[in-house]
Amino acid sequence: MKFLRNLLASILGFFISIFLIFFLFIIIASLAGSKEEVVVKPNSILELDLTSIIKDYAPDEENPILEALEINDPKLALNKIFNALDNAQLDNKIKGISLNTTFVNAGFAQTQALRKKLEEFKESGKFIYAYNDVYSQKNYYLSSVADSLFLNPVGQIDFTGLSTEILYYKDFEDKYGVKMEVIRHGKYKSAVEPYLENEMSEANREQTTSFLKSIWSEITSEIGASRKLSQEEVNAIADDSKGRNATLAKENKLVDNVIYQDEYDAKLKKAVDGKYATISLKDYIKSGKGKKSSTAKDKIAVIYAQGQIMYGEGNEDIIGQGIINKAIKKAVKDKKVKAIVLRVNSPGGSALASDLIWRELELAKKEKPLVVSMGNLAASGGYYIACNADLIVAEPTTITGSIGVFGAIPNAYELSKKMGINAEQVSTNESAQYSVFEPMNKKFYDVTKEGVEQIYTTFVNRVAAGRKMTFEQVDAVAQGRVWTGKEAISKGLVDELGGLDHAINAAAQLAELDAYKIRNFPNYKTDIKEMFNISPFGKVNKEEVLKEALGDENYRLFSKINELKNLKGIQARMPYILDIK
């Protein structure tokens, strides 16, 4: 009887669970269906707030629970922003743009691409105004494209030139007995330099100075053109921090006027000859303006490779050979796809995963034209997967190159000695073994060094074949050296300067297409378990909780440190954590 009672209870519990899940989905469906449709009102001004994370590609969230509860990860997709701005040019209801963002959460190459798109918008004859209480340097660079630029009377503009800071850990390692055992190829391959030295090497200082000056030259040139200032005048303003208060900012032509928010609102009203409505960029995209319609049958596939490269499946933030290679195969198999554009935004990572993606692209190139578009970063492994394209297009401010490899393994021998810990090993063979509690022996070092050298040679040969250069020519600009897109042109690593649109147009020309539509890859699927992965804080996962607690700046540092534990195998990775300010 007890068995039957338990069995009936289990069956009843099962059916109650099924009913509750079914009921939950009905509620979710009704919530999703009841969402108000976004309508663009006549006489509207498009408001650009770019404080959300801007990614090259951010597919729509496929988690109906999160969507219904409106707790999706806040992010903006660059491709949708571009489509929205293109549509806004032709939209009679949109009279102009108001740039009013406290922070531009994008890299310099993305920001430069956005600025160019806003320049195109101005060509339609519609206005762009910008207002802020305080401008960060990147925000000012973007906002300077405006027809009229305004600042709060007690505000300021942080405009002092570019800089970056690198932390060195050798003394820390010596003091506490924990260090990184490093094996590398490339005198500029400074990804591991902070673990080996107490100060910056001349080679590292040379390349860092070079690419910072290259990026700064782009910024000062474009700001100067918009504000009718010479590059010399712009540099003089930066040297003496002449945007440090509103009075100086106006005197030095960084802004057109110093006004309060209500006065800015009055100027917008005057610009549209009366009352106006506002619509946020996110709502404008939701209204359907983040897409471009086309009746063309032919397609160009745009495959987005964004994030660090790791061996495995990958996801929206990690480039894995699993997801990327599936996307490449789908694009090749689709007869309507006539050309492929690979959009790379990556500092590199696993050399093995990079080579597996390179191979799939090599096969794809035999079937269809392949063009690479470089975003903020296409360095090391990011360049590895780009090098065999028919054409490589980069933004002038793209960070690329870094053709070099390294291996880094933590070692706690000195720490274990200080703590009185002794590790004893027993092995069946005399192969190259490694213990974190023992110094690296020569045999292990030699074997690992051989692997590093082999992968470096393979890397350089891949580039030489793809770029139609000799091994010696590639080696001369390799050695882990980082270049901007502008610098990489003269080194033979990049063919043309431009954004994603430029790369897509080039792919269309190679495929001899007059009309086409875009098919974006990869497709990311939400695991059924993740649909219910909601924390008590209303966030999707622990990363979102950490980001909320630490803030964007601290979370980026935390995530970079956290990546170290996932580094497996020999790495083709960016020189160091780049935080250009």
Question: Residue 579 falls within a domain, yes or no?
Answer: no
81 and 7 inside one domain = no
Mean pLDDT calculated for residue range 536-562: 54
8 and 67 inside one domain = no
pLDDT of residue 452: 85
pLDDT of residue 449: 82
pLDDT of residue 536: 44
Range of the domain at 15: 1-34
Mean pLDDT calculated for residue range 78-92: 95
Task: Express the helix, strand and coil content of the chain in percent, nearest 5 each.
Answer: 45, 20, 35
Q: How far apart are CA 273 and CA 467, in angstroms?
A: 55
Question: Residue 226 falls within a domain, yes or no?
Answer: no
Domain count, the chain: 3
268 and 375 inside one domain = no
**Is the pLDDT confidence value at 538 over 50?**
no
Burial class (CB in 10 A: 0-12, 13-18, 19+), 98: buried
Question: Residue 220 falls within a domain, yes or no?
Answer: no
Q: How far apart are CA 150 and CA 145, in angstroms?
A: 12
Q: What is the DSSP letter of 565?
A: G
Question: Residue 307 falls within a domain, yes or no?
Answer: yes
> Last residue of some domain: 252, 271, 289?
289
Question: Residue 276 falls within a domain, yes or no?
Answer: yes
For the chain, give the mean pLDDT.
Answer: 85
Q: How far apart are CA 68 and CA 198, in angstroms?
A: 52
E strand or H helix that includes residue 341: strand 337-346
401 and 431 inside one domain = yes
Q: What is the DSSP letter of 252?
A: T
189 is catalytic: yes
Helices (H) and strands (E) in the chain, counts: 21, 22
pLDDT of residue 63: 52
23 and 61 inside one domain = no
- From residue 83, how far is each of 59, 388, 429 by CA, in Å? 14, 29, 61
pLDDT of residue 540: 47
Label residue 550 by pLDDT band (50, 70, 90): low
Could you read off the pLDDT of 460-506 as tens digits, one per residue?
999 999 999 999 999 999 988 899 999 999 999 999 999 999 999 99
Q: How far apart are CA 224 and CA 194, in angstroms?
A: 37
Question: Residue 401 falls within a domain, yes or no?
Answer: yes
21 and 88 inside one domain = no
Could you read off the pLDDT of 183-207 as tens digits, one per residue?
777 565 556 788 788 888 888 888 8
Q: Are 364 and 389 within 8 A, CB to CB?
A: no
Greater pLDDT, 144 or 554: 144
Three-state SS for 110-155 is HHHHHHHHHHHHHCCCCEEEEEEEEECHHHHHHHCCCCEEEEEEEE
> Last residue of some domain: 289, 324, 354?
289
Q: Are 522 and 327 within 8 A, CB to CB?
A: yes
Question: Residue 201 falls within a domain, yes or no?
Answer: no
Could you read off the pLDDT of 170-180 as tens digits, one per residue?
888 888 888 87
Catalytic residue among 189, 282, 289, 338: 189
Could you tell me which residues come within 8 angstroms of residue 318 by beta carbon, excluding any fewer than 6 positions away? 307, 308, 309, 310, 312
Mean pLDDT calculated for residue range 242-271: 96
339 and 464 inside one domain = yes
30 and 49 inside one domain = no
Question: Residue 344 falls within a domain, yes or no?
Answer: yes
Could you read off the pLDDT of 41-70 as tens digits, one per residue?
999 999 999 999 999 998 865 555 555 445
426 and 487 inside one domain = yes
30 and 55 inside one domain = no
Mean pLDDT calculated for residue range 217-232: 97
Q: Which amino acid is it at 169?
A: Y
Label residue 569 by pLDDT band (50, 70, 90): low
381 and 442 inside one domain = yes
Q: Which two tokens stand for residue 414?
A: 């000195």
Catalytic residue among 144, 373, 380, 402: 380
List the one residue out of 135, 137, 139 whose CA is nearest residue 151: 135
Q: Which of 1-5, 421-425, 483-487, 544-548 has the highest mean pLDDT?
A: 483-487
**Is the pLDDT confidence value at 29 over 80?**
no
76 and 1 inside one domain = no
Task: Residue 484: give its domain's CATH number.
Answer: 3.90.226.10
User: In the chain, what's the furthest Cα-to-Cα distance?
Assistant: 93
Q: What is 467-492 written as a DSSP string? A: HT--HHHHHHH-TT-EEEHHHHHHHT
List the one residue out of 146, 67, 69 whose CA is nearest residue 101: 146
